[in-house]
Structure 1
Amino acid sequence: MVARVLQGVGVGALMVAALSLLLALNLNLGSFTPSPASAEISCSSSRRSPLTTVEEDALGRVKPSGDDYFGTAGEELINEMKADNMEKNLRYLTSQGHMAGTKQDLEQAEYLKKLWLEQGLDQVFLQPYTVQLSHPDLSKPNKVYLMDDEGQVKFTSSILEDPLDGVDYDDSIPPAFLAFSPAGTIVTNELVYVNYGLYEDFEAVEAAGIKVKGRLVIAKFGQGFRGDKVQNAERFNASGIIIYTDPSDYHPDLEQGGAAYPNSFWLPESGIQRGSIVWHDGDPTTPLYPALDGMYRVPDEQTDTPRIPAHTLSYNDARKLLVNIGGEEVPPAWRGGLNITYRMGPQLVRPGWTVKLEVHNIKHLVPTYNVIGVIHGSEEPDRYVIYGNHRDSWTFGSCDPSSATAVQMEMVRAYGQLLRNGWRPRRSMVFGSWGAGEYGFFGPWEWVEEYLKVFEMRAVAHLNVDLAIIGTYNMLISATPLLHKIIKEATKRTPAPDPSLGYTTLWEHWSQRLRAASPDLLDYNLASLSEHSPFYQHIGVPTSYMVWEINFEEYNWSDYPLYHTTYEDFDAVKNILDPEFRYHLAIGRLWALMGIGLADAKILPMDPDDETVMLRKMVADLKAEYGDTLQEKGISLAHLDTVVNRFDEVAKTFITHVNNLTDVPLLLARQLNDQLLLLEKCYTNEAGSYLRPHVKNLMFGTSNFNQYEGWLAPGVRDALWEATHCQESCDHHWQVVQHQLSLLQYVINSAVLTMKDIRYI
């Protein structure tokens, strides 16, 4: 069987494959040459099967084989990682604020570079990109004022939180701002309350007879991405928007006298959430190409960034505005947690009184730095398993992102120790500490854009942990289907964080405990939550995202309460969330095992059957939500069913073929792995998704109205939303639906051809 497959490959393909095995890591880094011992292993292993025999390296380590995807090195990695080291790492990372584009951020990047070199990675370097960032003007902080009928200021919003220890914050902590809000001043006697600022909230306001056009609006944080709230305000032609942290989400027992941080995890009344409001990720001035020196910069007025002023308030400050809004009471479901009467507006209660919003943000081009560390693979150095975590934070960032950065640092140390002990993976491993992640994933987007063609062909997977922990009840894991197998197997090998709960392995904890955040165990809801977005949305790389979450049946919150405030400090993690860093250690071990399985197994531990499950769910969801409507319009999903059935057939044939192999020479392994590696990359299309051409993945994407919500078939869903909301002359919209369905069918068929036996294409 093996010989027949190799005959089908052809001499030219064999030469290309053989040459590719000699390629060194192509990241402007130089090369790695296998030692004589590792070269000997490569030759002898071509006669041994990773599926049926035990393979050892030169030092006697068992390599991954059969049902063991991790080998001896996996156990060594688990034992090497230490919770105490993660705690020390977090203490360092949270010693000061480190917003992107600041000296503190660069200091941490340089520290990581030095540390990773000392710990034994083959290569470590800083990769700068000059991007447009938005910072507050320290000489003119952003503020909201309430003024009486004589123009006297009766209230001014705070620019910083009240320090818990009474000591003023240093210059590493920025005053209140929303990044990429344009500078501007609004003075008005009208203020409209729009609940969470969701699209349907604005629709409800207008349906109640209150026009938003030309008026200042105020919305609650939560239930979606803050940038979508700003975009919705623009869609309805508001003049500006104020967003605040209502205690209904951030301190629900406030009015009952409940304690706030540091005596609980709830947000103190002066807490101010910072954050970016861009909805198009990556540097705004270099769309679809990297922000390198000499690149053309799109003028600011042509960038896809917000056009109306936006600002953030604490709930203590928001109260001063909300009590002055007149008009009808809001619906009961729209009431917040303040002990006031919530009203719709638009008029203020006191005649002649006005609200003044002043934003003085500055946009400028500044460098941001990715720290890239590399372990060169021994046999396939041009295949990359990528670990990702952004490094920058708005303030101290103990949860976001430093809990994950602290884990990543310990994982790198453990891998360095394995290298010192003589271990080396088959494929290369890349560790990315991304710069300017908080602004819109700038660091990874620019990196992916620069190395676009390299990673389109050679990236195996991107394993992302943005923040390791916001609770300790259970894990939320989202991933594209090809990573489902390795995630499940890795959780079965990872020790449970707290055996006193009755669980031995992380698998038992994760699979048996309530998962209110993710009932289906694994989902595809990657959305634009984090730095994984360019990898799966732009080039189709198999991607995962995971975090320790709360019990959502016990708590009802949208963001964790201290999110992006100065209260998100080291003590919040050490004293409340994870005092012994057990949960940090558990997610770190899982993260490490996933990578070692993908980098060291001879045949990639990916199951195309998991892809079939996703495809059938995607079609079933479209039928359930739009089937009757599509039938009325004469649009059939039968062809989509047919191509999914074809994929099911070729996937089963592929799996049967692999399972029947008794010997896998290196070139055959390369062929089989490339079929798996390219499978999800088939879902990308150069034209991009309908309405959002920068999103190239036609299978996995985000809601057009909430970047935190993932959609399967985003282009089709965008078209269906427009068609079903069309009021007149709708034929064109339904033609667009048909076009998008055809493109979806086309990319699935591409996946079919990729999985087929090369002899029968």
Structure 2
Amino acid sequence: MDRRLGAAFAALVGVFGLICAIEGNLKNHFSASPESDEPCPYDKSNVAERGQYCQGRRDLGRDKPFGDDYFGRFGDELIEEMDALNIENNLRYLTSQGHMAGTKQDLEQAEYLRKLWLEQGLDQVELQPYEVQLSHPNLAKPNKVYLMDEEGQVKFTSTIIEEPIDGVEYDESIPPAFLAFAPAGTVVTNELVYVNYGRYEDFLQTESMGIKIEGRVVIAKFGSIFRGDKILNAQRFNASGVILYTDPRDYHPESETGGAAYPHSLWLPGSGIQRGSIVWRDGDPTTPDYPALDGAYRVPENETDTPKIPAHTLSYNDARKLLVNMGGPEVPQSWKGKLNITYRMGPKLAREGWTLKLEVNNVKKLLPTYNVIGMIRGSEEPDRHIMLGNHRDSWTFGSCDPSSATAVQMELVRSFGQLMKKGWRPRRSIVFASWGAGEYGFFGSWEMVEEYLKVLEMRLVAHLNVDLAVIYTYNLQISATPLLHKIIKEATKRTPAPDKSLGYETLWDHWTDRVRASPDLIDYNLASTSEHSPFYQRIGVPTSYMLWEINFDELDWSDYPLYHTAFEDFNAMKTILDPEFRYHLSLGHLWGLMTIGLADAEILPMDLEDEITMLRKMLKGLEDEYGQALKERGITLGYVESTINRFAEVARDFSMRLEDISEIPPLLARQLNDQLVMLEKCYIDTEGSPYRPYMKNKMFGTSDFNQYKSWLAPAVRDALWQATHCEGQCRHQWQLVEKEIAVLQYIINSALLIMKDIQKL
């Protein structure tokens, strides 16, 4: 026999033997348990009551949940294992120093997590570096705002850091006042314009009063919208610079009546300075759409999509010094803050010859950021992943943002490690992601999605994101794409209430009884507030975002008062917000049960009725807001409506067929699950929005004027906004509206085709 032919034959025999061995193992694995020769009955009628386990199927020591129980015995054991004291100790460590991205402290925490997670039993843990452009303050030349008299003498200089509560100066881990990605530059002027919250409509109203923005510095309150959108709006109106400040109206409304500030309450002290990023496009600015790896093409600095005018942040103590020196008419009543002053529009300063100097000295540099990625490999479908994400870096101590969630994530890793010691291993793989440089624009998660785009498109089942676990403890706020609504609801019904003295037994009871932020139990407002954004915006992965929030009927916060200041420390959480860490623990229970439900269920617990509901709400929103304008142009949404109706028929047929199946072979289960996971990927379109091509999801997205607000059908809304605000014939703009409505119909039709019976074309 020819040597090569003999080698090939031997290889073939080896492969055939391996296949036979695998086939035999699979046959034993799926047909009988160690205790019984009888096959496991799949028919639900064989289970006498909810919560009973199928004793005929024990896979690698795991008692699989059966029927309507998505969590099984190990769901209960996870709840028992998790400990609030461990979460408290985790938070104490995480807040022991500031850990801004690109600093040695941030790397220290990344290395600590990698070592800890390996010790706690994860199968694999890696540090994943990306070299990204970060913006840091110049410590030798801190950013400042000055007021100078007619002789050029400095009469006021803004402070660069908070007054410490205990009298001990903050160390170098706490950066001085700055807004990341505000470009270096100096503006000297005698004109300052007040623009309320810096919303687009605020700029329009200012100009309608006869006060031009062009060439002038503007001052705006933090709150209402994302700070980066305030800068973008200022650029749209050709301002020369921006000053943002925390007005007591939003951050200490009791200041006028003598109410105490932190540490006696959660209200912001007068020296509090909010830091933060002002970029409006997520991911490393120098490598848009591609990962920041060695050899990557870097966009020239003058071509990056980042702010072009200087901007700085002030405390309300310092802002008062500027506002009292402004001239011009009084601001509209609804624009007034709660400083004990007369708020004026400007543009001229009140004192003749006085000038304002805005000086920004930020430095941009390429620095490594580190994701910590840990994995529990699945026993049956290791190539299907459930990801739990949370960013690790903070501007200061970060007791709320993000460390409250990081502390919970750490306890989940430890607890899952303990379950593995008891013999549990999930059907699908579980991935824990501690993202780097999240505060800058979700750099760590975006770069990973860009690098692993095709892998994650194929393998990722869901991304369960918790950015910050607790900012108050009134009620849960949860946003999610529709395919995750069912598992969220089921998990809250299994999770114990955080405080049973309030009269609630389960988290479901607490959540559904108390007032929520929206009329819907779970909304679709994923927006661009955290690391989940690349997962739903770029690759269409089912995604959730959740936290403990305020009572929106009693409080009106867009940011919590201590947000991104040096006062957001461990003491704030321990003495005021969640002293016993009950609410941290409750969210950890929910997060963990959702993970088990998605990782272990034979058929993914996803209800297509939730998708139908979303589609109908999307259509109604477009009709309510733009129906008349579309009618006047002879443009119809009728084809979209008919496609939604056909999708509903196919989706319900899928669900009925699933209910009728009494025995699900492994390959069929895989096929059905793949249909479910592919559904929301159908909303991704490579062209993206015509006005924001980086936004690839044509169903879920953000408002063009506030990254904190979501839009359903964002590309259609982008086109409609441009068309309805256009002057003249606007033929091109209305053609884009027609095109985007057709694309919307196309993606819904794609989802329809995905959900059709796999036995038919």
**TM-score bracket for the superposition, by shorter chain length:** over 0.9
SS of the residue aligned with 1:418?
helix
> Could you say which residue in structure 2 is the equivalent of 1:356?
357
The 3 A distance-change label for structure 1 pair 73 and 352 is: same
How far residue 40 of structure 1 moved from its aligned partner, in angstroms, is: 4.3
Determine the C-alpha separation between the residues in 2 that align with 1:148 and 1:125: 57
> Could you say which residue in structure 2 is the equivalent of 1:167?
168
> Could you say which residue in structure 1 is the equivalent of 2:535?
535
| Amino acid aligned to 1:89 | N
SS of the residue aligned with 2:561?
coil
| Amino acid aligned to 2:239 | A
Determine the C-alpha separation between the residues in 1 that align with 2:573 and 2:398: 10
> Could you say which residue in structure 2 is the equivalent of 1:466?
467
Q: Deviations along 1:698-729, whole A, 9 cap, x unmatched? A: 00000000000010000000000000001113
> Could you say which residue in structure 2 is the equivalent of 1:658?
658
How far residue 51 of structure 1 moved from its aligned partner, in angstroms, is: 5.9
> Could you say which residue in structure 2 is the equivalent of 1:340?
341
> Could you say which residue in structure 2 is the equivalent of 1:123?
124
Q: Is contact 1:144-1:157 (8 Å) kept?
A: yes
Matched, 1:96 2:97: yes
Matched, 1:113 2:114: yes
Q: Deviations along 1:552-609, whole A, 9 cap, x unmatched? A: 1111221000000000000000000000000000000000000110000000000111
Q: Is contact 1:37-1:58 (8 Å) kept?
A: no
Q: Deviations along 1:724-760, whole A, 9 cap, x unmatched? A: 0011131111110000001111110000000000222
Determine the C-alpha separation between the residues in 2 that align with 1:230 and 1:476: 28
> Could you say which residue in structure 2 is the equivalent of 1:397?
398
How far residue 264 of structure 1 moved from its aligned partner, in angstroms, is: 0.2
SS of the residue aligned with 1:709?
strand
Determine the C-alpha separation between the residues in 1 that align with 2:599 and 2:551: 34
| Amino acid aligned to 1:166 | G
Determine the C-alpha separation between the residues in 2 that align with 1:58 and 1:731: 62
Q: Is contact 2:62-2:423 (8 Å) kept?
A: no
SS of the residue aligned with 2:63?
coil
Determine the C-alpha separation between the residues in 2 that align with 1:238 and 1:448: 35
The 3 A distance-change label for structure 1 pair 197 and 60 is: same
Matched, 1:486 2:487: yes
Q: Is contact 2:60-2:425 (8 Å) kept?
A: no
Determine the C-alpha separation between the residues in 1 that align with 2:282 and 2:550: 28
Matched, 1:567 2:555: no
How far residue 458 of structure 1 moved from its aligned partner, in angstroms, is: 1.4
Q: Is contact 2:61-2:423 (8 Å) kept?
A: no
After TM superposition, list the pairs within 5 Å mapping 1:184-263 onto structure 2.
Answer: 184-263=185-264
Q: Is contact 1:144-1:156 (8 Å) kept?
A: yes
> Could you say which residue in structure 2 is the equivalent of 1:455?
456
SS of the residue aligned with 2:682?
helix
> Could you say which residue in structure 1 is the equivalent of 2:387?
386
Q: Is contact 1:38-1:58 (8 Å) kept?
A: no
> Could you say which residue in structure 1 is the equivalent of 2:422?
421
Determine the C-alpha separation between the residues in 2 that align with 1:753 and 1:569: 51
SS of the residue aligned with 1:289?
coil
SS of the residue aligned with 1:523?
coil
> Could you say which residue in structure 2 is the equivalent of 1:641?
641
Q: Is contact 1:48-1:664 (8 Å) kept?
A: no
Determine the C-alpha separation between the residues in 2 that align with 1:258 and 1:365: 44
> Could you say which residue in structure 1 is the equivalent of 2:151?
150
TM-score of the two chains, using structure 2 as the length reference? 0.94
> Could you say which residue in structure 2 is the equivalent of 1:631?
631
Determine the C-alpha separation between the residues in 2 that align with 1:253 and 1:47: 67
Determine the C-alpha separation between the residues in 2 that align with 1:351 and 1:34: 87
Matched, 1:41 2:29: yes
How far residue 489 of structure 1 moved from its aligned partner, in angstroms, is: 0.1
> Could you say which residue in structure 1 is the equivalent of 2:7?
none
Determine the C-alpha separation between the residues in 2 that align with 1:61 and 1:122: 17
Determine the C-alpha separation between the residues in 1 that align with 2:332 and 2:160: 31
Matched, 1:280 2:271: no
Q: Is contact 1:50-1:64 (8 Å) kept?
A: no
The 3 A distance-change label for structure 1 pair 49 and 221 is: farther
Determine the C-alpha separation between the residues in 2 that align with 1:320 and 1:60: 67
| Amino acid aligned to 2:29 | I
SS of the residue aligned with 2:707?
coil
Determine the C-alpha separation between the residues in 2 that align with 1:116 and 1:732: 55
Determine the C-alpha separation between the residues in 1 that align with 2:339 and 2:535: 41
Determine the C-alpha separation between the residues in 1 that align with 2:141 and 2:96: 26
Pick 1 or 2: higher relative contact order, CA cutoff 8 A, min separation 6: 1
| Amino acid aligned to 1:162 | E
Determine the C-alpha separation between the residues in 1 that align with 2:410 and 2:658: 36
How far residue 61 of structure 1 moved from its aligned partner, in angstroms, is: 4.6
The 3 A distance-change label for structure 1 pair 718 and 376 is: same
> Could you say which residue in structure 2 is the equivalent of 1:28?
none
| Amino acid aligned to 1:331 | P
Q: Is contact 2:98-2:397 (8 Å) kept?
A: yes
Determine the C-alpha separation between the residues in 1 that align with 2:518 and 2:566: 29
Q: Deviations along 1:265-301, whole A, 9 cap, x unmatched? A: 0000000000000000000010001000111111111
Determine the C-alpha separation between the residues in 2 that align with 1:394 and 1:229: 20
> Could you say which residue in structure 1 is the equivalent of 2:586?
586
| Amino acid aligned to 1:726 | C
Q: Deviations along 1:335-373, whole A, 9 cap, x unmatched? A: 001010001110000000011000000000000000000
| Amino acid aligned to 1:41 | H
Determine the C-alpha separation between the residues in 2 that align with 1:99 and 1:42: 49
Aligned length: 731
Q: Is contact 1:47-1:664 (8 Å) kept?
A: no
Q: Is contact 1:144-1:355 (8 Å) kept?
A: yes
Determine the C-alpha separation between the residues in 2 that align with 1:76 and 1:721: 51
Determine the C-alpha separation between the residues in 1 that align with 2:107 and 2:729: 54
| Amino acid aligned to 1:734 | W
SS of the residue aligned with 2:393?
coil
How far residue 614 of structure 1 moved from its aligned partner, in angstroms, is: 0.1
Q: Is contact 2:182-2:309 (8 Å) kept?
A: yes
SS of the residue aligned with 2:687?
coil
> Could you say which residue in structure 1 is the equivalent of 2:12?
none
Q: Is contact 1:42-1:379 (8 Å) kept?
A: no
Determine the C-alpha separation between the residues in 1 that align with 2:258 and 2:753: 63
Determine the C-alpha separation between the residues in 2 that align with 1:241 and 1:357: 9
| Amino acid aligned to 1:225 | F
After TM superposition, list the pairs within 5 Å mapping 1:678-717 onto structure 2.
Answer: 678-717=678-717
How far residue 41 of structure 1 moved from its aligned partner, in angstroms, is: 2.9
Matched, 1:308 2:282: no
The 3 A distance-change label for structure 1 pair 38 and 495 is: farther
The 3 A distance-change label for structure 1 pair 363 and 51 is: farther
Q: Deviations along 1:169-226, whole A, 9 cap, x unmatched? A: 1110000000000000000000000000000000000000000000000000000100
How far residue 395 of structure 1 moved from its aligned partner, in angstroms, is: 0.2
Q: Is contact 1:50-1:603 (8 Å) kept?
A: no
After TM superposition, list the pairs within 5 Å mapping 1:666-685 onto structure 2.
Answer: 666-685=666-685
TM-score of the two chains, using structure 1 as the length reference? 0.94
> Could you say which residue in structure 2 is the equivalent of 1:438?
439
SS of the residue aligned with 1:504?
coil
> Could you say which residue in structure 2 is the equivalent of 1:8?
none
How far residue 144 of structure 1 moved from its aligned partner, in angstroms, is: 0.2
SS of the residue aligned with 1:592?
helix
Determine the C-alpha separation between the residues in 2 that align with 1:278 and 1:384: 30
Structure whose alpha-carbon radius of gyration is higher? 2
Determine the C-alpha separation between the residues in 2 that align with 1:547 and 1:463: 12
Determine the C-alpha separation between the residues in 2 that align with 1:249 and 1:489: 36
How far residue 518 of structure 1 moved from its aligned partner, in angstroms, is: 2.5
Q: Is contact 2:61-2:424 (8 Å) kept?
A: no
